[in-house]
Structure 1
Amino acid sequence: MAAAPGRRRPAVLLWAAVCLATALAVDRSNFKTCEQSGFCRRQRGLQPGHSPYRALLESLQLGPDAARLQLVNEVTKVPLLLELWGLQGNVTRIRIKELNPLRPRFEVPDVLVAEPPVERLAVTGRDEGSLELSLGPAGHRLLVTEKPFRMDLLQGRELLCSVNARGLLFFEHLRQRRDSFSDKVSSSVGSLWDKIKTLFHRDTPREPTAEEGGAAEGQEETTGGTEDAGTQSEKPTEATAEAAEEPGSWEETFKTHTDTKPNGPTSVGLDFSLPGFEHVYGIPEHADSLRLRTTEGGDPYRLYNLDVFQYELYNPMALYGSVPLLLAHSARRTLGIFWLNAAETWVDISSNTAGKTLFGKLLDYMQGGGETPQTDVRWMSESGIVDVFLLLGPTPAAVAGQYAALTGTQALPPLFALGYHQSRWNYNDEEDVAAVERGFEEHAVPCDVLWLDIEHADGKRYFTWDPSKFPRPRDMLQRLAAKKRKMVSIVDPHIKVDSGYRVHNELRSRGFYVKTKDGSDYEGWCWPGSAAYPDFTNPEMRAWWASMFAYDQYEGSTENLFTWNDMNEPSVFSGPEVTMHKDAVHHGGWEHRDLHNLYGLYVQMATAEGQIQRSGGQHRPFVLSRAFFAGSQRYGAVWTGDNAAEWEHLKISIPMCLSFGLAGLSFCGSDVGGFFKNPEAELLVRWYQAGAFQPFFRAHAHLDTARREPWLFGEENVALIRAAIRQRYALLPFWYTAFYRSHRHGLPVMRPLWMEYPEDATTFAIDDQYMIDRALLVHPVTEQGARGVQVYLPGKGEVWYDVASLQKHHAPQTLYVPVTMSSVPVFQRGGTVVPRQERVRRSTECMRGDPFTLYVALSPQGTAEGDLFLDDGQSFDYETKARYLHRQFTFAGNTLTASSADPRGSFDTPAWLERVVILGAGKPAAVVLRPADGSETRLDFQHEAETSVLTLRKPGVRIGDDWAIVLR
């Protein structure tokens, strides 16, 4: 079943060669460093401590919803408008933009689910040079200092966050280009620029000058400012402040690509100081540890959606998606910073405790000279405005809820999407698909979805099928449906430029493509060869795209065909950094530079809407997207992109998915087995075991890798893989319930330990183990040849139960767990109830109505609780018609009770309770079942004294009924 050679088109051959050349290591030269990104270089060139901005406190306007006052750059005289909101739920919003811009600046649409409700503000204090605002009933106060401008956010007497405390606010205002200083004389300006940098960065103490604060980009904005700034007449005028603009301000070249900048330099930057915090997380996507590292001495973390083949690990380089949300956590509090800007963004992180060992910190404390830990975070974006939300917690769950209230929660996926997915680039034809599907049947391996990559379409023309390879797609899909399986086909957002291609002709005739700066349709090179790019920022184009998923438009499609949006950063092989030119023009006249990171979100949004529309609004969509932004969680799943069959890539999948979850993207996974290269059997087995305990569970591989369906590695290994997949299916009720809770409340499904144990400092840097919801702790085996793993069990006074042996362990402790090739270390938390369906079948749909088993893990106090969410697994009826069951299970006083967790829901299911396993229980004299009718029935039971496990067989009650089981 090797991949058929000789059938790839020239474009594929060309790019496949590039892929293979870069597969050994990413070619860093294709992607910018901060130094090569003009605005990042300018922003970072600004040194702390000399801010030129002053708050005009007398300009304060206090309305019922917001406070507004002006800021002025005392060098350039350009006024800014500062707007402040206290939002309900402990959130503060800060927005800074030009008071009188030459033209509008881009403000990110479609990410916030609604304008958040506000608290009433009040002035609670004034002093010379400062004023104090009350932000609402939670006791938050904002102290605004006039000169240099600074804001301090307090709760009571505790300082939570300082804004512009380091003086790094830098707002490149819109201006007219001065031709005499254009980039045509860049060599002369460059010489002058070097002199200015030397002048501005000298260390002699003095008052803030020209743009050590304001134009330190003033490296772009000023030639003057070397005199004492205390006298107004000595300050340079705006004209002289702008005289020496850095080469590249209006036009910038990277490799062979030149980016024209008709609006000139427009970047924005701002710093935040977080006293008391030394652990920060978030800002995916990066192939890095969960805890973010300091960036002093290296590049900042970059947020710029890019197509990066086999990315490097532990590197702040940008990858496929961007969520500008950073979380800070300490034993006392959690808070978040949400920087709402869709342009290229860099994030610098510094810490006064970086590099200090634990012993060094302890020594500081003992000597009485220890300083309060502090992390400083600096955001720098190429364009747009400053629009930032401070999420004030105070708990991890509160911050998750605050972010979800702004951008939405994870969409509840259809149940099949939580099963196992089998993919590769590419299954060759309909016969190949049928053979793979038969393989799952013959080897008794559960599977819900088979995937088709780009070779399934007719010459990479999406919404079509290759007539020789897939001549009867509807028949193929119906055969899968008969086995209760689904299919996913790829639909990428680059459209083959071909006058014989209906999709292209419609897009061109309707004017729906992204334009060049000259007004023609933007074209680049991608999989089909010459390709154009639909403008997904245009609501009319998105509506048209959604209509293409109708069954009469996407010929051969059926209701069990779902969608994969790849390459939607967007990927442009011939473009700068393998993406779209920044001076391309979108709907409304906005440049691509303004909204680049939004493009992938819009693609997934339009595709999901198309799937909903094709069902008449009845069925939930499933869309996998490689690119994403804040709010993408509302539209489907994401994954970690083009990884490699290496142990380190298996390890990094855990912190990457944890970071996704912290940023609201709960439905995340990695390519099981690695996309590039060929995994040895041990690595493949371990990856299946890890993937079975990650939210999105898909195997996928590159065109030129060997086939790796689960049964191709010998009987011993297929048995191990089968067991891992069966574990996933047995836990599907638990996964689905966890996703429902995430959908309702915004908590990540897969979460770091510190979210559940926020006061336990031991958990703060752990990223090789994690929690699924609040009940299961998982530590996948990610070391080659491992014979054991060290598992940290948190929670003072808590107990944990090994899911495999049912052995009880007391916490907190670090436990050495011996492992074999069949081991997946998983522990159930004492005090929880986990529902399972242990009659595993070929797919999720086949298990509908099957009986349940409850695993009741008792706390040291002899209590436990958990829940179960059930509906039809595919429709919106749980929302529109309240057709669902949400059951609550509680164990206390030797009695297990089942009741409704939400009486609004109603759903008829034949599912019943097959078994109850109580962990940590003594042996009762009798066990009695009490249904809702008040009758009593004795139940058979078995007790294992060695493990204190009590098993109750066949209670036989319906899972949707109220009942009690009493241990006597």
Structure 2
Amino acid sequence: MTAGSSPRAVVRRYADVTGHAPVMPEWGLGFWQCKLRYWNQRQVEDVVEGFRRRGIPLDVVVVDFFHWPHMGDYRFEDEFWPDPEGMCERLHAQGVKVMVSVWPQVALSSENYDLMRQNNLLIHAEKGEDIAMMCWEPCTFVDVTNPDARRFVWDLCKRNYADKGVDAFWLDEAEPEYGTYDFDNYRYYAGPNVEVGNIYPLEYNKGFYEGQLEAGREGRIVNLTRCAWAGSQRYGALVWSGDVGSSFQDLKAQITCAIHMGMAGIPWFTTDMGGFHDGDIEDPQFKELFIRWSQFSCFLPVMRNHGNRSLSHPHADDPSLAALDAPHERLLKEEGEFKEVVRAQDGSPRFYSGADNEPWSMGKEVEAILVKYITIRNKMRPYLRELFDQAHKDGDPIVRGLFYEFPQDHRAARLSDEYMFGPDILVAPVVQAGARSREVYLPGGEETIWENLSDGQIYHGGAWQTVEAPLDVIPLFARQGKDQGLRKAIQEASA
């Protein structure tokens, strides 16, 4: 139990007990590009070339799941990724880092399954079939509470990913995600699941963090993860909110998630920009949501674009249409949407690839606004560096409820749709479809002066204000004299 006279005192003492986040590498401050899913090497390199050709800043590109032959192989599938080392070298030459998704599942068909089972590196069912999940094929999980299992998996990932140039790891399914949550039926090295199950994500992150430290990557470790536990932050855990829906209701909920994650002692947080599910890239309503979500993401610890995008009406000149009925079709109509089908040379299926999800995928207006906020993000790196350093040294959240900076303002404690981005910037995302203005509460007393960074208007604290928010504007306010260069960055990005 930690206690203190203010939220800041409590959180800082809690960080001293459970651990401080490490230093965020510089490339973590920029824009991250991902989709479900880039399924081959050429596709990844073409996307990065698209950013370069358009002059859009990019720090990280992410290779999502099912780039492997079978779950638990922990390597690229050769047919689709013939030269990952060369790919990483070429991307690095363009200033882009590479993150790869890793799952804790091990399929019964994996080349590593028998060895891992024989050496007790997998979780065990107490009764019945020893299968924990069906995802494409029957599988179980690495027992990350076993230090030998952590070492075994890291050694594979080092040899097959890190040594080939992969910079960071996306530790998905970190709960882990059981097919049926019969917790009393699973046993870990550390004990019965019902007693120790919550430490699984902590140990999962720990294995990769310690492995990367041994490999000499201190100061360059970020593990994107879907689940965390007390202390996960000290292992470089960047927690994202999982596969959330694509709706304004879900967008609003992410603000609360970010505030609560920081108060739980985990300062690194992000979301799937636009939500994960059901985003049709030709739907005007989704485009509006995506724009508003991208503005919010600009003012999160990590600005990351990801999602399982869909496409209801392929363009008439799309060459894929000609192959719809062919044996090796590229597009499959499923539940009213078109999805790209991936097949190996022998005709066997691979996991589908979602619709395009790059800044230019949804038309000129979306591209222009997203590029505006990527540019703002890039220009506020000095302020971001200060925030990450505070998180590392003191344990302060990066996203803070208004109550964190204004503990005496009782109205501030009840607000869940605006927040402080560090000590000086107030962010009020637009979370209603069609809205072009919103009500914003500016905390503090009459002596607290706020500047609207969009139009320069000055307001006193302790009052509600109605502010304009056209589609390309997110309401932002700075304590007077502490705009951290954002006013100039916004003006330059809007020009």
Normalised to the residue count of structure 1, the TM-score between the two structures is 0.44
CA contact (8 A) 2:267 2:397 kept: yes
What SS does structure 2 have at the residue aligned with 1:488?
A: strand
Separation in 2 of the partners of 1:839 and 1:755? 26
State the one-letter code of the partner of 2:441: Y
Taking the aligned partners of 1:702 and 1:719, their CA distance within structure 2 comes to 22
Q: Which residue does the alignment assign to 1:255?
A: none
Name the counterpart of 1:476. 87
Give the equivalent residue in structure 1 for 2:278: 677
Q: Hey, what does 2:113 align to over in structure 1?
A: 504
Aligned to 2:334: none
Check 1:661–1:713 CA distance in 2 against 1; reply closer, same or farther (3 A cut): same
Higher helix proportion (structure 1 or 2): 2
CA RMSD, 1 decimal? 2.3
In structure 2, distance between residues paired with 1:507 and 1:835: 53
**What is the deviation of 1:830?**
2.3
Residue of structure 1 equivalent to 2:154: 546
Per-residue deviation, residues 160-209 of structure 1 (Å, max 9, x unmatched):
xxxxxxxxxxxxxxxxxxxxxxxxxxxxxxxxxxxxxxxxxxxxxxxxxx
Q: Which amino acid aligns with 2:418?
A: Q
Counterpart residue identity of residue 807, structure 1: Q
Q: Does 1:651 align with 2:252?
A: yes
Structure 1 segment 296-695 matched on structure 2, within 5 A: 389=1, 391-498=2-109, 501=111, 503-517=112-126, 522-550=130-158, 553-554=159-160, 557-573=163-179, 576-577=180-181, 581-588=183-190, 590-615=191-216, 618-635=218-235, 636-679=237-280, 680-695=286-301
Aligned-residue offset at 1:528: 5.0
| CA distance in 1: counterparts of 2:130 and 2:227, whole angstroms | 20
TM-score, reference length from structure 2: 0.84
* Cα drift, residue 835 of structure 1: 5.5
Q: Is 1:738 aligned to 2:387, yes or no? A: yes
1:492 Cα deviation after fit: 0.6
The correspondence of residues 744-783 of structure 1 with structure 2, limited to 5 A, is 744-783=393-432
Shift of 1:766: 0.6
Counterpart contact for 1:733–1:836, Cα < 8 Å: no
Distance 1:556 1:474 in 2: 9
Task: Output the CA distance in 2 between the equivalents of 1:555 and 1:699.
Answer: 22
Q: Does residue 823 in structure 1 map to residue 438 in structure 2?
A: no
Deviations 1:818-838 (A, max 9, x none): 121111111111253626798
Question: Counterparts of 1:530 and 1:637 in 2: how far apart (Å)?
Answer: 29
Q: Which runs of 5+ in 2 are unaligned?
A: 281-285, 310-338, 340-353
Given the superposition, is the C-alpha separation of residues 422 and 738 from structure 1 closer, same or farther in structure 2, using an over 3 Å criterion?
same
Q: Are the structure 2 counterparts of residues 837 and 759 from structure 1 closer, same or farther at C-alpha, using a change threshold of 3 Å?
A: closer
Please give the alpha-carbon distance, in whole angstroms, between the structure 2 residues aligned to 1:734 and 1:837: 13
3-state SS in 2 of match to 1:582? helix
Q: Is the 8 A contact 1:565 1:625 kept in 2?
A: yes
Asked if the contact 1:409–1:745 (Cα under 8 Å) also holds between the matched residues in 2, the reply is yes
| Alignment pair present for 1:813 and 2:467 | no
Pair 839,434 (structure 1): closer, same or farther in 2 beyond 3 Å? farther
> What secondary structure does 2:157 align onto?
coil
Of the three residues 350, 355, 366, the one matched with 1:717 is: 366
- Describe the shift of the 1:487–1:526 C-alpha distance in structure 2 as closer, same or farther (beyond 3 A): farther
Residues in 2 aligned to 1:786 and 1:833: alpha-carbon distance in whole angstroms: 25
Q: CA deviation at 1:565?
A: 0.9
Deviations along 1:340-396, one digit per CA (max 9) or x if unpaired, are xxxxxxxxxxxxxxxxxxxxxxxxxxxxxxxxxxxxxxxxxxxxxxxxx2x221111
CA distance in 1 between partners of 2:206 and 2:130 (Å): 22
2:250 touches 2:275 (CA, 8 Å); kept in 1?
yes
CA distance in 1, matches of 2:489, 2:427: 23
Task: Tell me if structure 2 keeps the 8 A contact 1:473–1:556.
Answer: no
Letter in 2 for 1:750: V
**Mapped partners of 1:764, 1:784: distance in 2:** 25
Aligned to 1:706: 355
- SS of the residue corresponding to residue 674 of structure 1 reads coil
Cα distance in 2 between the residues matched to 1:487 and 1:561: 5
Q: Residues 435 and 838 (structure 1 numbering): CA distance in 2 closer, same or farther, change over 3 Å?
A: farther
Distance across 1 between alignment mates of 2:246 and 2:406:
33
Cα separation, 1, equivalents of 2:28 and 2:133 = 32
**SS of structure 2 residue aligned to 1:780:** coil
Q: Distance in 1 between matches of 2:51 and 2:252?
A: 27
Distance 2:82 2:219 in 1: 27
**TM-aligned CA deviation for residue 561 of structure 1:** 2.7
Q: For residues 837 and 556 of structure 1, do their structure 2 counterparts lie closer, same or farther at Cα, with a shift above 3 Å needed?
A: farther
Contact 2:71 2:103 in 1 (8 A): no
1:923-962 paired onto structure 2 within 5 Å: none
Which of structures 1 and 2 has the bigger CA Rg?
A: 1
| Amino acid in the other structure paired with 2:240 | W
Task: Identify the structure with the greater strand proportion.
Answer: 1
Indicate conservation of the 8 Å contact 2:70/2:109, yes or no. no
Q: State whether residues 23 and 219 of structure 2, in contact with CA within 8 Å, keep that contact through their aligned partners in structure 1.
A: no
The alpha-carbon deviation at position 504 of structure 1 amounts to 2.7
* Paired AA for residue 529 in structure 1: E
| Residue type of the alignment partner of 2:203 | Y
Shift, 1:494, TM fit: 0.9
C-alpha distance 546-468 of structure 1, shift in aligned 2 (>3 A): closer
Question: Per the alignment, in what secondary structure is the counterpart of residue 761 of structure 1?
Answer: coil
What is the alpha-carbon distance in structure 1 between the residues aligned to residue 27 and residue 230 of structure 2? 25
The CA distance in 1 between the partners of 2:481 and 2:383, in whole Å, is 15
Gap change, CA 1:619 and 1:544, over 3 Å in 2? farther
* Residue type of the alignment partner of 2:234: R
Q: CA deviation at 1:598?
A: 1.1
Equivalences, count? 441
Instruction: Please say if residues 802 and 825 of structure 1, whose CA atoms lie closer than 8 Å, have aligned partners that are also in contact.
Output: yes
Contact 1:425 1:455 (8 Å CA) reproduced: no
1:668 and 1:696 in contact (8 A); partners too: yes
1:726 partner amino acid:
T
Structure 1 780/396 Cα, relative in aligned 2: closer, same or farther at 3 Å? Answer: same
Cα 1:658–1:839 shift into 2, 3 Å = closer
How far the C-alpha of 1:461 sits from its partner, in A, is 4.0
Whole-Å Cα distance in 2 between the matches of residues 837 and 777 of structure 1? 13
Unpaired segments of 5 or more residues in structure 1?
1-388, 841-854, 856-968
Post-superposition Cα deviations, 1:817-866, rounded to whole Å, max 9, x if no partner, equal 112111111111125362679899xxxxxxxxxxxxxx9xxxxxxxxxxx
1:568, 1:732 → 2: CA distance? 30
Distance 2:487 2:93 in 1: 22
**Amino acid in the other structure paired with 2:185:** D
**One-letter code of the match for 1:718?**
E
CA contact (8 A) 1:754 1:764 kept: yes
Contact 1:673/1:688 (CA < 8 Å) preserved in 2?
yes
Q: Which has the higher contact order (CA 8 A, sep 6+)?
A: 2
What's the counterpart of residue 449 of structure 2?
A: 799
For residues 689-721 of structure 1, give each alpha carbon's deviation from its aligned partner in whole angstroms, at most 9, with x where no partner exists: 111111122111127553231102222221111
1:413 partner amino acid: M
Q: Is the 8 A contact 2:450 2:480 kept in 1?
A: yes
Give the distance between the partners of 1:462 and 1:743, measured in 2 at CA. Answer: 34
Q: Quote the sequence identity (%).
A: 28
Cα distance in 2 for partners of 1:777, 1:555 equals 40
